A and B are shown apart, each in its own frame.
Chain A
């Protein structure tokens, strides 16, 4: 078992998949020099300029071309490098990739991975910091993946590349350097959550970087005698309802915590689903914790106010447990 960064875990996996399947190829801006976060380093040398295609700044054409190439049997991995830039290609993703199979009566498939690094990255400001995963969960025909650990960034990327459906694959920019154990081994299936920490008093559901804030919160709560269970959803569509229900049945309390704007966030979907299914088993109201509905500010003190921190999560958990 190797210790790797989140970025290297993805890179290693991508290289393995490209060696395994000659139909897997990548395209995106600045890939020729290994990607802006180094997440393609060494790949241009190994696979050459056609399989690691260094594209001009043309997000709409990059994604649209990938849809065409995917429909005809190749497996493109598209790099959008910031989720914010992918908005230039949202038509290609939402109107084309997501709907082709359905509209055409199942005659085609779009095996496409769209990598969209997301999230706050110190002082990157309003157009380089967004977490827009909930937008894509709203779109039938898309799979949405948000890995939180190096291990998951290996196993989930493997599954994404092998999937026959369009996958929006959202890595968190603040996690690139995170190190962790990465077992060789099998792909991680979509729709299977990970219990990041077991507990009995309150369930905290999260994904992406916020999982780490939730785990930190759980550790500080433990020192006060509150045992929180932290669930990392890993994939938002499909999402692991069974794991969440099983946990909330046990704890009777639920917090959904995510970095993205709370209003209309995927937390609302989880909260409503749990409230509906487990109404009689809840000991306290279901709670959400996300960013206020404010564009992301540049100045550090304002940016910090937007963050879902371990302290905020712990505070909410304390309040719930007292109820």
Chain B
């Protein structure tokens, strides 16, 4: 495999993936921080996630959420400096969703999402360096600079993109579920979509197929209240997005998407359902994005009060920090985490600026496999 980030990486063979899938690795949960803290993970994390997570696991979630938050803040800065261009959709505010879901799955489970994908990739264990360098359009990026913010992928980390056409990832995620079943694994497909995307027709074609064939797909609707400038109320009929699978017999639940623990618990339930061969599950995550839809959106369609209330009362990171303090985790330990993350993000930003632009010859590669 091409070495993107200055470290040797290697494409796992299908066989290896399957072998690792068989022994649920604890490393998934905290893999977002792998660049700095590979050694701190222990098997305790996985065992503890069954019920009340251990302090160590909680710190892991805190860390992953903060990695995403700091990464996105840095991306916003680099965008402001003109180092990132085009479309760039930040995930700030929604961190608990991907981190909680990632804590509920295991090795070999797959993830696919839309263009608001940085958080998903970091949570999947993709390296901050490679993601940031894609944002700056450099050869060290996950797509060699050809894809940009919306279009990244990692076979190794089971992340299947990064899709810019609203709703397009939903049938793709259904196909990932098909593969898990076809290969007789008990792996699940996490298929993320937005509250705006739920109004696309292919979502319902996917619901029907997934239910009909009992595919292990968890459709995770990230309801952040807006699809660009359009509020859910103005775009979506019906009382609840979680119920949109009702006609197909797909169970659905509304989840507090601002609480990593609520997400994890709901995720575990859905994963169990899928692994037992009962077909798809829908989770509607009630969440919120703090920034505009993309970097060019001043978000004038909502009030400052609405935003401030979410930030002050429901921030997923502040909330978990409070839990950690209550659990007796020392403030110093959290400060140390903060520092490590700062270093990780600084390193990623440096890498993203130092990595060269793609060579002109790259224009002609990766178009067809054989021609």
Contacts and interface: CB of A to CB of B under 8 A. Distances in A.
Interface string B125-157: 000000000100110000101111011000000
B290 interface: no
Contact of B165 (A85, A293, A295): A85
A72 interface: no
A305 B363 contact: yes
Contact of B199 (A32, A33, A57, A294): A57
A58 B364 contact: no
Interface in A22-38: 29-30, 32-33, 36
B87 A57 contact: no
Contact of B234 (A54, A294, A299): A54
Interface stretch (B5-13, B65-73, B225-233): B225-233
A306 interface: yes
Contact of A127 (B150, B196, B201, B228): B150
Contacts of A300: 85, 137, 357
A124 interface: yes
Interface in A290-307: 292-295, 297-302, 305-306
Nearest to A60: B201
Contacts of B230: 29-30, 32, 54, 56
Interface in B74-91: 85-87
Contacts of B197: 57
Residue from B87, B146, B199, B229 whose CB has the most chain A CB atoms within 10 Å: B146
B137 A126 contact: no
A19 interface: no
Given A298-B151, A299-B146, A300-B85, A57 B360 contact: no
Interface string A175-207: 000000000000000000000000000000000
A125 B360 contact: no
Contacts of B150: 125, 127
Contacts of A59: 200
Nearest to B236: A56
B201 A61 contact: yes
Interface string B283-316: 0000000000000000001000000000000000
A124 B164 CA distance: 10
B167 interface: yes
Given A30-B229, A123-B148, A299 B201 contact: no
Contacts, number: 113
Contacts of A84: 164-165
A139 interface: no
B199 A58 contact: yes
**A contacts with B: majority SS:** loop
Range class of the A interface residue count: 35 or more
A295 B150 CA distance: 15
Interface in A46-92: 54, 56-61, 84-85, 87-88
A299 B137 contact: yes
B165 A302 contact: no
Contact of B146 (A56, A128, A302): A302
Interface in B230-289: 230, 234-236
A57 B227 contact: yes
Contact of A122 (B86, B143, B165): B86
A58 B145 contact: no
Given A33-B229, A57-B227, A298-B137, A123 B364 contact: no
Contact of B228 (A30, A126, A292): A30
A95 to B, nearest CB: 15
Contacts of B199: 56-58
A128 B294 CA distance: 14
A123 to B, nearest CB: 3
A298 B146 contact: yes
A136 B252 CA distance: 41
B181 to A, nearest CB: 27
Contact of B167 (A29, A33, A57, A295): A57
B86 A297 contact: no
B164 A125 contact: yes
Contacts of B138: 299
A297 B364 CA distance: 10
Contacts of B52: none
A297 B227 contact: no
B86 A125 contact: yes
6 pairs of A and B residues whose beta carbons are closest in the complex: A123-B86, A298-B148, A299-B137, A123-B85, A299-B145, A127-B164
26 contacts: A29-B228, A32-B230, A33-B229, A56-B196, A57-B167, A57-B235, A58-B201, A84-B164, A85-B166, A88-B200, A123-B137, A123-B148, A126-B146, A127-B164, A127-B165, A128-B86, A294-B364, A295-B367, A297-B358, A298-B147, A299-B138, A299-B357, A300-B85, A300-B137, A302-B358, A305-B363
Given A32-B234, A292-B363, 9 more contacts: A61-B201, A125-B146, A127-B163, A295-B367, A297-B358, A298-B146, A300-B357, A302-B146, A302-B363
